[in-house]
Every structure is written in C-alpha cells, then in structure tokens.
A and B are shown apart, each in its own frame.
Chain A
Amino acid sequence: MTDPSRFGVYGGRFVPETLMAALEELERGFRTIVPGKKFQEEMKYYLHEYAGRRTPLTFCRNVSRDFGCRVYLKREDLLHSGAHKLNNALGQALLAKFMGKHRLIAETGAGQHGVATAIAGAVLGMQVDVFMGEEDIRRQKLNVSRMKMLGARVVPVSSGSRTLKDAINEALRDWVTNVATTHYLIGSVVGPHPFPTMVRDFQTVIGNETRDQVMEKEGRLPDAIVACVGGGSNAIGIFTPFLGEDTRLFGAEAGGEGPEGRHGATLCRGRPGILHGTYTYLIQDAFGQILESHSISAGLDYPGVGPEHSYLRDSGRVSYHPVTDREALDAFLYLSRSEGIIPALESAHAVSLAEKVATGLQKDDVLVINLSGRGDKDVSQVSSMVGDLL
C-alpha cells in the first residue's frame, strides 16, 4: 500500500510530536467529514451562492491573436476576495467548524490568503488571527486594512526574515500552543500531511470546472495549461483533473532577478530538503539552512514548494520554468492593456510563460492560463516601479 502522506519520496509529517495528534485528528476529519452529504451541501452553498463559483473561462480574442493559438483564461480573479485562495479557506474553515474548533490561524505573505481566511472566519463566525511578517505588513498595507476591516487580528512577525516563511514558523508555534481550540488554516499545498492533499482537493474545483468549460466550448481537452507556482495551490488545483490526460502542463516559478540573482524558483534551482513539515524542493545552503527567496510578487516569494510539485517535477509530468520579475511586469501590463484585465503579479508569471509555450502551438491549439488572482493589490507597487513609462 502506498503511504498516503507521500507523493513519491516527497511529503511526510516532519513536525514536533505535540502536533501529531492534531494532524491525525485533521486527517480523520478530512477523510470522514468532507465526503459527507452535510459538508458537501454547505460547501456548495458557500462556493456557489457566496463566493461566486463557477468562475468564467474567458476566450481572449486579443491574446489569441497575439499568441497565435486559442487562449482561455480561467478567471479566479473574479472569485469573491479576488483570488483562488478563498476556495481553500472556505473548505478548511468549514471543516474546522465541523470539527468543533472556534479559532482559525493563518499565515500570509501578500495578504491574499489572510484576507480569504478573514472572510471565511467572518462568514462562519470564527475568530481569526493572521501571522504576517513585519516586512510584508509594510509592503501590503491594503490587505492589512482589509483583514482588519473583516474583523481579523493581524499579528506582526519580527523573527527571521520577517516574511512568509517566518509567518509560517510563527503560525506553527501558535498551533503547538493552542492545538485544542485552534485550526491552522494553511494557505497552500505545503506543510505536513494532510495539508498538501487537503488543500489540493479544495482547489481542484478550478480544474474540474475548467475541464467542463473547455469541453463545452471546444468539444475537447486543452493542449496546454499554464499556472504560476509559489507554494503551488492554484497550479495543483487546475492541473489535477488533467494529470491522466495528454494535456501538457506548465508551471511558472519566480525567476526573480534572473539566473545570477535572487529568486523564488524552488523547483528549477533548488534541492530537496525538509521545511515546514514536508520533504520537498527548497532554496537552501549546503548545510540545510533555508535561504531567503525573492520575487516581485509576494505570493511567489517562498523558499519551498508543495511536495506534490516536487514529485511532478521529477516525474516530468509537469514542466516548470522560471519567469523573471521583468518578464512578469511586462506580462502584467500586456494583459491589462490587451484584454482590460489587471492580473495579480503572481498570475502575470503564468501569462508570461504562456507566451513562450504558445510559440510551440498551432493556430487551433487550445491554451488555458490560470488567472489565479486580480492585480488591484499590486497596482501601487507596479506604478511606483514603472510610473515613468505609463
């Protein structure tokens, strides 16, 4: 029998003993509660009535003309909250509520997952504490205000590099301390088992809808799908229903400053190791100390990646490529002006890689880009970077 906590050699549960009981309880809840009729009905209500699913699959006439193939965007930017993060936040918050927890904690980098958790907490009547690095709080004022507006407490993290990695450390430390009352609502397909599997399952709604929508519009499956990969939850979400098909799958990682500079391209340039409870590719030094990542987009600025992506990388099923800050910025402006859609900087990485993928496609080939979030949060950052050019 295969170990359900592993994806090939990757994954596992590298956590202090104190957390093992909580992970076992969570896994039981995930296996027994989530498939149940009551949970599924509630989840359907929140996803459809509340969050606005299903999200459109938009055929982009202008991008298709420019790229020379049939380009669709999966519009997670149109989901309530403005990003795919809410699919997972609603799923886990609902599960936690079914399990009798009344407090949610979360980590956030750019603030999107923090906002999604704050929304889920507000609508489900649960207390929310969001851990956020001091550096990110400074950089992402808009989302900090949104979280507070939604009734969440934002806890500044001053340890380490004061960014996402340290916010996860601090959330794990809080969870160890308050494990009886609290659910740690992790925001991506990272962390110890069962998180990578559970978050994947909550995000697979993206891929399931995409599959139906492409079949409706094209009468066949897509030739290629491109998604950005930080922790990798939007990518896993859209890839999963296509893993057994012929569709070519591409992941865009944060190439940062380029081949010589700082980056967040964990799968392209990292090495396997253990961080935040899981065995996966990491950006680390020769001795196993974790190094700081860098990306123009805070959502991709993480020195680890989901363990299933490590498996998909090694097996060759998904092809991962770095996209530099500069390329992402160009794609951000390109999509804004060609289609009137301002993408999140994270999603702009996928748009950029899609342009390269398209060069190998024919006119009638179908290419889907997962537009994981909208770019409102990035507008002030981008203006300050390219203000003179606008």
Chain B
Amino acid sequence: MTSRIGLAFSGAGRPLLVACLVAGDPDERTSLDLMKEAENCGADIIELVMPHSDPVADGPVMQKAMQRALSAGTTPDTLFSQIRNFRSVSKTPLLVLTYANIVVQRGIATFYREAAEAGADGIAIADVPLEESDPFCVAARNEGIDPVLFISQTTSRERLERIVAGAGGFLYLVAVLGVTGAREQIDPRVIGHIRAVKAASALPVVPGFGIGTAGQVRELVRAGADGVIVGSAIVREIERTLEDPFAMREAVGGKVREMASALR
C-alpha cells in the first residue's frame, strides 16, 4: 500500500513543499491554526516537530521555538491531540520530527501506535542514524508509518544504499554541514549530492536545513529535488510576531506562499 506521503509525491506532478512547524509553538491552539494556514497557503506536507529540551541538530530559531512550546507545556499528548485535530479537517500528509529520547520514554511501539492513530503519516528522528534505526523502523512498519531517514553529504555510498533500503516516504537530504537555520546561500556541493542520491534511490529526495528563499527553492528543484523542507524560515516568522496573533498568521502564511510559488 502506498502511503499518503508516497501518493502526494507521485500524484502531484511537481516538487512538493514540506512546511515545518513546532507542535505547541507558541501554544497548541495557535500552532494548529498555523498548520491550517500553512496548508491553505500551499504547503503540500506538514512537518510537525515534537520539541526536545536538547535538540542538537537544530539551530537557534528552532531551539527557541522548542523552548516556547515546552514552556507552554507541550508533551507528546499535545502533539497527538494537535495531529488529531488537524486530521479531522485535512487530508494533507503529516510528518512528525523529533528526538530519540522523546520516543523511547513513551515506549517506541506506543509512540508509533499513538502517532498512527492520531493520523500521522511519517516519523523522522533527528538523532537516530541507520545503526540505531532498527527498532524505530520496525515500529513504523507495524503501524503503517513511513520511517523517514536522513542522508548527509558525509554519508558514504555504501551507507546510502543501506539507508535507501530501510527508509520509507522520502529521503531527507541534509542540505548543509551543520544545524537547521536559513542560510544566505545553498551549499554548491548539494547540487551534485542531490543528483547522486537520486541516481541511487527510487524514493523522492527532499532537501532540508538552511533553505529560506524562493531563489534557493528553485535552485534545488533545478538540481532534481522532489521537494524542499522549509523550517526555520517559517518558524522565524512566529518569533517575529509573538505579540500579535493576527500578524503571525499573515507572516507564516506569507512565507509559505512565497516558498510554494517557487514550486509551481
């Protein structure tokens, strides 16, 4: 059975926009509204982050967003309730991104079951490389969840093949050597890297990390990307408009629209 994420890529006939938000940032209700706003403004897939106190793969913008969400009391219960509420009004594919300890403390099987029941379609875990991925991928397959795995410029050819064999949904191509956060420029090595990974994989290849402008999105699509993941550039709009919920919605929607227009 092809997953909702798989169908989105095969059915769209164009590269997809994965728009990333942190669950509970700045609170559950606003975060849910922002998911709907992102969807209305052209997000093809929503990536919802379950915040962690120590997110080592994330830069300052996402760190602050996670702190806001945790201060607002966000837990996996919040995450699943937000997903359920979104799913009750939307068929847009939804990817959960989090860190290993959040899943392990819930119980790996429990976390994947709850995520599936709430309506999530994929789960990516920032600090679980191939070597540690078995129990997570098994739980994902049991629940019909796509196990989204990461590829980096430092990933060897041999590892790439094993990652492709284990992954589901799409390959999350880390487009920078570094942490999340919009950059001025696309790393020129990413262009060749996308081509190489596409040649090795039947799964869609979607770069994320460091992407924040329409120009960058077009550049990545020209290189063959099947979509782009935009996180910090969107979340930064939340940080910028914390005092004004109406402006926040506008700002997040505007950023998503800008990214989406580059894909159409």
Q: Which residues of A contact B (CB under 8 A)?
A: 5, 12-22, 159-160, 165-166, 169, 172-173, 176-180, 273-277, 279, 282, 284, 286-290
Given A12-B132, A160-B53, A18 contacting B174 (CB threshold 8 A): yes
Are B126 and A287 in contact, with the CB atoms below 8 A?
no
Are B105 and A18 in contact, with the CB atoms below 8 A?
no
Using CB atoms, name the residue of chain B closest to A165. Answer: B54
Are A20 and B102 in contact, with the CB atoms below 8 A?
no
Tell me which of A22, A160, A173, A274 contacts B101 (CB under 8 A): A274
Give every chain B residue within 8 A of A277 (Cβ-Cβ). 127
Using CB atoms, name the residue of chain B closest to A288. Answer: B105
Are B129 and A13 in contact, with the CB atoms below 8 A?
yes
Give every chain A residue within 8 A of B55 (Cβ-Cβ). 169
Q: Interface extent on B, as a size class?
A: 35 or more
B216 interface hit (Cβ, 8 Å):
no
Give every chain B residue within 8 A of A173 (Cβ-Cβ). 56-57, 59, 178-179
Q: Which residues of B contact A (CB under 8 A)?
A: 52-57, 59-60, 63, 67, 70, 75-76, 99-106, 126-132, 149-156, 159, 163, 174, 176-179
Task: Identify the 8 closest CB pairs spanning chains A and B, nearest first.
Answer: A288-B105, A21-B154, A177-B178, A17-B150, A18-B152, A288-B101, A274-B101, A289-B53
Are B100 and A17 in contact, with the CB atoms below 8 A?
no
Given A16-B129, A159-B60, A275 contacting B154 (CB threshold 8 A): no
Given A176-B177, A289-B52, A289-B70, A273 contacting B126 (CB threshold 8 A): no
How far in angstroms is the closest Cβ of chain A from B104? 6
A287 to B177, CA, bound (A): 30
Are B132 and A275 in contact, with the CB atoms below 8 A?
no
A363 to B58, CA, bound (A): 56
Pair count A-B, CB < 8 A: 119
Give every chain A residue within 8 A of B105 (Cβ-Cβ). 273, 284, 286-288
How far in angstroms is the closest Cβ of chain A from B239? 14
Are A20 and B154 in contact, with the CB atoms below 8 A?
yes
A12 to B133, CA, bound (A): 11
User: What does DSSP make chain A's interface, helix, strand, loop or mixed?
Assistant: mixed
Using CB atoms, name the residue of chain A closest to B163. Answer: A17
Given A16-B57, A16-B174, A287 contacting B150 (CB threshold 8 A): no
Q: List 19 contacting pairs A-B, 8 Å CB cutoff, sorted by A.
A: A13-B129, A13-B131, A16-B127, A17-B152, A18-B174, A20-B155, A20-B159, A169-B54, A173-B56, A177-B178, A177-B179, A179-B177, A273-B105, A277-B127, A284-B101, A287-B76, A287-B106, A288-B52, A288-B104
A18 to B177, CA, bound (A): 7
Give every chain B residue within 8 A of A180 (Cβ-Cβ). 177
Give every chain A residue within 8 A of B126 (Cβ-Cβ). 16
Are A20 and B54 in contact, with the CB atoms below 8 A?
no
Are A177 and B159 in contact, with the CB atoms below 8 A?
no
How far in angstroms is the closest Cβ of chain B from A387? 36
Give every chain B residue within 8 A of A20 (Cβ-Cβ). 129-131, 152, 154-155, 159
Tell me which of A14, A166, A177, A290 contacts B100 (CB under 8 A): A14
Given A14-B127, A169-B56, A177-B177, A288 contacting B63 (CB threshold 8 A): no
Using CB atoms, name the residue of chain B closest to A5. Answer: B131
Give every chain A residue within 8 A of B163 (Cβ-Cβ). 17
Are B178 and A160 in contact, with the CB atoms below 8 A?
no
Tell me which of B60, B102, B132, B156 contacts A21 (CB under 8 A): B156
Are B102 and A275 in contact, with the CB atoms below 8 A?
no
Q: A18-B178, A176-B178 are in contact. List 16 more A-B contacts (CB 8 A).
A: A15-B129, A16-B56, A16-B152, A17-B163, A18-B150, A18-B153, A22-B154, A166-B54, A169-B54, A173-B57, A176-B177, A274-B99, A276-B54, A287-B106, A288-B52, A290-B54
A107 to B104, CA, bound (A): 26
A111 to B199, CA, bound (A): 48
How far in angstroms is the closest Cβ of chain B from A228? 24
A287 to B57, CA, bound (A): 19
Interface centre among A12, A20, A179 (most CB of B within 10 A): A20
Tell me which of B70, B127, B151, B178 contacts A274 (CB under 8 A): B127
How far in angstroms is the closest Cβ of chain A from B233? 19
How far in angstroms is the closest Cβ of chain B from A143? 24
A273 to B107, CA, bound (A): 11
Are B128 and A288 in contact, with the CB atoms below 8 A?
no
Using CB atoms, name the residue of chain B closest to A304. Answer: B54
A298 to B30, CA, bound (A): 39
Are A274 and B131 in contact, with the CB atoms below 8 A?
no
Using CB atoms, name the residue of chain B closest to A161. Answer: B53
A274 to B152, CA, bound (A): 22
Give every chain B residue within 8 A of A179 (Cβ-Cβ). 154, 177
Give every chain A residue within 8 A of B99 (Cβ-Cβ). 274
Give every chain A residue within 8 A of B149 (Cβ-Cβ). 17
Are A17 and B155 in contact, with the CB atoms below 8 A?
yes
A19 to B67, CA, bound (A): 24
A180 to B154, CA, bound (A): 9
Give every chain B residue within 8 A of A13 (Cβ-Cβ). 129, 131-132
How far in angstroms is the closest Cβ of chain A from B155? 6
A274 to B52, CA, bound (A): 11
How far in angstroms is the closest Cβ of chain A from B77? 9
A110 to B167, CA, bound (A): 42
A165 to B59, CA, bound (A): 16
Are B101 and A15 in contact, with the CB atoms below 8 A?
no
A17 to B130, CA, bound (A): 8
A165 to B156, CA, bound (A): 30
How far in angstroms is the closest Cβ of chain A from B108? 11
How far in angstroms is the closest Cβ of chain B from A178? 8
How far in angstroms is the closest Cβ of chain A from B189? 12
A172 to B127, CA, bound (A): 12
Give every chain B residue within 8 A of A19 (Cβ-Cβ). 129, 154
A286 to B53, CA, bound (A): 13
Using CB atoms, name the residue of chain A closest to B103. Answer: A288
A183 to B65, CA, bound (A): 30
How far in angstroms is the closest Cβ of chain A from B181? 10
